[in-house]
Amino acid sequence: MKKTLYNYKAKVTEVYDGDTCTLEIDLGLNAFIKNEKIRLSRIDAPEVRGKEKEKGLRARDFLRQQILEKEIWLETIKDQEEKFGRYLGEIYLETKPEKYVNINDLMVEKGFAVYKKY
């Protein structure tokens, strides 16, 4: 995980699908943003509706298992919003002291998402 201006500690409060979640973000100095929707950058997971529903639900459930109600590190992409108004971000989960897994990459590695350029 890179330590940059755009890294935040956060708690995952909801997982909508395999590439969208809602966070409570700690901005420091006792300031928080609640209910911020984040789109996992660089990846695309199947939708939870329509033809992809079954795969989408599996992707969502895997992501929930990994991060729901957990404290994570969020790295936003230059605090830029995508076309649906969600911030793009990389999510890191600490697995051991000072050891982090990139959840975006894990979703692809486990077959629940694919890499995609936007």
Confidence category of residue 97, pLDDT binned at 50, 70, 90: very high
| CATH top-level class of 7-115 | mainly beta
Specify the residue for token string 């609640």: 34
DSSP state of 42: T
Q: Which residue has the higher pLDDT, 71 or 28?
A: 71
- Are the C-beta atoms of 91 and 74 separated by less than 8 Å? yes
Average pLDDT value for the chain: 90
pLDDT of residue 28: 87
**How many H helices and E strands in the chain?**
2, 8
pLDDT(3) > 70: no
pLDDT tens digits, 35-71 = 999 999 999 999 999 999 999 999 999 999 999 999 9
CB 34 within 8 A of CB 88: no
Q: Which of 86, 103, 85 is nearest to 94 (CA)?
A: 103
* pTM for this prediction: 0.89
Report the pLDDT value the prediction gives residue 33, as an integer from 0 to 100.
87
**Mean pLDDT calculated for residue range 21-38:** 93
Cα angle 118-56-84, degrees, rounded to a multiple of 5? 40
* Nearest partner of 37 among 108, 100, 91, 1, judged by Cα: 91
The answer to whether 59 and 44 are in contact (CB under 8 A) is: no
